[in-house]
Every structure is written in C-alpha cells, then in structure tokens.
Amino acid sequence: MPLTPEQQAQIDAARARPNQTLRAVAPGLEARLYQATPVLDHGFVRVVDYMGDDAAIVQAARVSYGAGTRKARDDAGLIRYLMRHWHSTPFEMCEIKLHVKLPIFVARQWIRHRTANVNEYSARYSVMDREFYIPAPEHLAAQAATNRQGRGEALEGEEAAEVLRLLREDAARCYEDYERMLNQTIDGRVLDPARKGLARELARMNLTQNIYTQWYWKTDLHNLFHFLRLRADPHAQHEIRVYAEAICDIVRDWVPLAWAAFEEYRLHGAQFSRTGMACLRRMLAGERVTQENSGMSPGEWREFRAALDPEGRLP
C-alpha cells in the first residue's frame, strides 16, 4: 500500500477544489492530478503540477519561426517536424512536477539526470519510514552470463527463497538497529531515557539501499523525453524502467501529439553508423552481407541485425 489513509484523504481534498485559471489546461493530466500510480511494492508516481500542453510547444515554435510558418503546417505535423529534426527548445516550454516514492538504489540512478529540480526527503532531519523494496519472485533475476550488466532468468526454488529471506531479514534487522541507535520511535517517545540517541544524519548509514525515499522531481518535457528514452529502454534496470513506464503513460495523457512523435522518432526508431549505412545500401542493392564482410565487430553486427530484423524474418 503505497499511500497512507491520511495521504489519500489529502489527495481527495485537493481534487475536490477546482480553481479557475486562464492558463492552458491539459485535460488528460487534470484527470490524473495528485493521484498516485503504484510502482514496485511500495512506490508510486503522481503528478503534482504541470505547465503547458501540445499547443504550448507549437506556440513556442511559431515564435521562433515568426509569421512565416503560420498555418503552413497543422500542429501535429509541426510537432513531428520538431521532433524529427531535434529542435528541442519548444519542448522545453512544458514543465511537469512529479512526486515519486522509490528505493534508494533507484534514486541513485535517477539523480544522475542533472537537468531537473529535486527536493528529497531528508534523513538528516527526519526518521525514515520502515518500507523496503523486495522484488517479486519473477523479478529475482540471475546475473546474465554473457553481459556483465544484464539479467538472466529468474532464480528458482531454494535459491530464490533464500535470497528473499536474506533481503527481508537484513533490511528488517538494519532498520531495527537504526531505531535502536536513534533511541526514539516515530511518535517521538523515547525508548530508553538513559541514552542520548545517535544523530539521525549518522544513524541513516545503517539502512540498506532498498529502503524507500521520496522526492519532488520537476523537469521540462525535452529533458523528460531524454530520461524516458534511456530509462524506458529494455536495457535499463527493471526497477527504474517501471517508473519510466508509469511516466510514459502520464506523458501520453498530457501531450498526446508530442508523445506520438516521441514514439515514432525516438522510442521505436533506430540509428545506424556509417558502416551500418554502407551495409544497408549493399543489402538493398541485393548483396548478401554477413558479419565477416560487414566491417563490424560481432557485437556490433548483432546489434545491427537486431535493429533491422527484431523478429528474425529476413534471410
């Protein structure tokens, strides 16, 4: 249960008070505003605020292009053009603010995207809640044999059971000892009056990295697309990808035209190297190109074939 009853009541209250505004409004986001989409076992993503819509992208582009472009293209066509030609500044005119609850090892990956504004729950200041990420059995993946960074099949049987047990026990014990070192409970009752209690900024170091933290994270649409391109990718770690996928749904509801262009030109597009383009041209001219005569390394050839023929239909 990612949300407490108190939090749900706050959300309901916020949603019960519509205001009037002269700003652009995105109906698809209004329907979602404040509501939490569950992610992993205790996490969530929810939209807390936003600015702009598809029309704001178009409007910014038309400022740049001036009178010349007016009416020359419809909005969808203009947005597709901007995406195709990497004109990023009009997409920067839209902004979104998310409230995210996520495990610390995921937060450490996420924060590497520097072009965002962040306010994170401070474990110097407050006591962390007792919530840990424990993978569902089907996501308890083995180390990939061929790829040092990847996952293999899910663990099974006794090995899986032991891993789950260790993760649960270690997280729980570390948290209990954290509380013991703090010498206080959440409601502030002191456990042992003879003790001073360790500073929170020190005690937190005893917590495992699957404990949940939360933050407000605000970014513009261009940088959000960059984030999604990297983190909704099949090579991203599952535990951050599920957040990225939840955000994809949000963006689709927010700016449907921009989302469609992003899918067309980024998520489901492909790129090729100079050597790859040369191979492609030979193939189109009827030549049989193999890894040996491609000029590519085996790894690169494998990636090239996968991009060209993901379902293995070509000869």
157-184 burial: b if 16+ Cβ within 10 Å, else e: eeebeeebeebeeebeeebeebbbbbbb
- Of residues 255-284, those binding a second copy (CB under 8 A): 263-265, 267-277, 280-281, 283-284
Closer CB to a second copy, residue 37 or residue 214?
214
Closer CB to a second copy, residue 57 or residue 246?
57
Q: Which amino acid is at 256?
A: P
Question: Is residue 4 close enough to count as binding a second copy by CB under 8 A?
Answer: no
Residue 104 is labelled as binding a ligand: no
Question: Is residue 65 close enough to count as binding a second copy by CB under 8 A?
Answer: yes
Q: Which of 9, 161, 191, 199 binds a second copy (CB under 8 A)?
A: 199
Contact 295, 275 (CB under 8 A): yes
Which among 38-46, 242-250, 251-259, 302-310 is the span making contact with a second copy, rule CB under 8 A? 302-310
Question: Is residue 218 close enough to count as binding a second copy by CB under 8 A?
Answer: yes
Question: Is residue 287 close enough to count as binding a second copy by CB under 8 A?
Answer: no
**What are the residue numbers of the active site?**
231
Q: How far is CA 299 from the centre of its chain?
A: 27
- Across the beta sheet with 95-103, the strand order is 37-39, 43-51, 95-103, 212-220, 117-120
Report the alpha-carbon distance of residue 253 to residue 232 in Å, rounded. 17
Which among 36-44, 210-218, 241-249, 250-258 is the span making contact with a second copy, rule CB under 8 A? 210-218
Burial of 57 (0-12, 13-18, 19+ CB in 10 A): buried
Question: Is residue 137 close enough to count as binding a second copy by CB under 8 A?
Answer: no
Q: Which of 36, 45, 58, 181 binds a second copy (CB under 8 A)?
A: 181
Question: Is residue 302 close enough to count as binding a second copy by CB under 8 A?
Answer: no
Residue 279, number of CB atoms within 10 A of its CB? 23
Q: Which residues are annotated as a binding site for FAD?
A: 89, 112-114, 120, 220-222, 226
From the annotation, which residues make up the binding site for dUMP? 109-112, 120-124, 204, 231
